Amino acid sequence: MAIPSRQIGGSTTTNLLWQISKQLEELICVRSGGCGSTTTTTSTAIPITTTTTTTFLTREYCVWSTDLYTDPIETSEYDVATNTLTAVPIDNDIVAPQLFIASTSTKLWKYSAGIDTIREWWISSYPASLTFNRDILVTPLLNYIRNSDIVAVDNNTILTTLNASSLAFPSGIPYEVYLWKYDISTTSAGVGSSVFAFGSAVENYVFSMMFTTDSKLICTTNRPGTIPYLLQYSYPDGALELELSLASLLPWGSGGFTGVHIITYAHEIYLVRTTDNTLFKIELNAPYTITEVTADLGWNSSRVFSSSTGECNDVSFTAQITTTTSSTSSTSSTTTTSTTLAPTGFNTIYTHFEAL
């Protein structure tokens, strides 16, 4: 029943009871959904279109690095500009002696000749991480010393070196180094195949290799006497285009083996000396002047470096088929020197091709 209108002149008690009755009536109407006509307001939402853009960034750096002995499962990207290492997460890492790295923009490989296995990871976009993909078995060859240094031509081709096990040199140092190609399109690389032999242009072990976008194979090597050399070949024919003595990089008086890693950054070629991890830049044209960039980075001498095949390695040397020595200049804050060295090594250069 509806509550009658409030009468004028009623007592205070009467007015209070009327207000209470009116509030109860409104509550009952709300609860029952009735009590006269109601006005319903409908709100129509205007659809808002949201666009989500996912940007896939390439890896920030082109150079990979790891420590062969101190921390072989530490895998890092190396920033040449700031000389810093950034650790990269990696699953199912491989721990083995003499472990070297090769990579393209999408894949990374680690190889140890001691276990005849090349392990492969996918590289994610930056920030980089490495996801295990597969193991590739390599069939060992008799009468050859297998080197762990590798370089990728593409995602299906890995190059390494084999040394003929001859006693022509003291301590059994092989007399000839062969460039060896593995087809890794399947999980078994088999015995591989010979591409060409470095011959007397090497005469020892190849220490570092880099494959460029214009199909040049650039490598560093140590000949008997621990004199490092830089060599550039045309691939796959094996024509020697440049032979450069790196004797200026020897830390005189320190003795021992001197290895030199070759890497690229921002359309330039750099060298890392292993004895003290000093960074140098080398000019691409004769006389191939080498300039010290950063002295003694403070890392272990067992650290290795490798730049990615593909868009990273977009530079090579201007060919000069002669025995060449480089001049060096130091940009150290304390000293500045310029030295031209006399020729070292042999005077006659030839390439030797031999099918195994």
Q: What is the pLDDT of residues 267-303, one digit of tens each?
A: 999 999 887 888 999 999 999 999 999 887 777 777 8
CA-only gyration radius of the chain, Å: 35
Q: What is the pLDDT of residues 36-95, one digit of tens each?
A: 554 444 555 555 544 444 333 345 689 999 887 777 678 899 999 888 888 899 999 987
Q: Say if residue 105's pLDDT is above 50.
A: yes
Report the relative pairing of strands 303-307 and 107-112 from DSSP bridges. Answer: unpaired
Cβ-Cβ contacts under 8 Å for 193 (sequence gap 6 or more): 180, 181
CB atoms within 10 A of CB 14: 11
Report the relative pairing of strands 320-325 and 240-245 from DSSP bridges. Answer: parallel
CATH code linked to domain 63-340: 2.120.10
| Positive/negative CA dihedral, 71, 77, 81, 82 | negative
| Domains of the chain, residue spans | 63-340
> What pLDDT, on a 0 to 100 scale, did the predictor assign at position 46?
54
Cβ-Cβ contacts under 8 Å for 214 (sequence gap 6 or more): 316
> What pLDDT, on a 0 to 100 scale, did the predictor assign at position 127?
67
Q: How far apart are CA 181 and CA 195, in angstroms?
A: 6
Cβ-Cβ contacts under 8 Å for 87 (sequence gap 6 or more): 74, 75, 76
Q: In this prediction, what percent of the chain has a pLDDT beyond 90?
A: 37
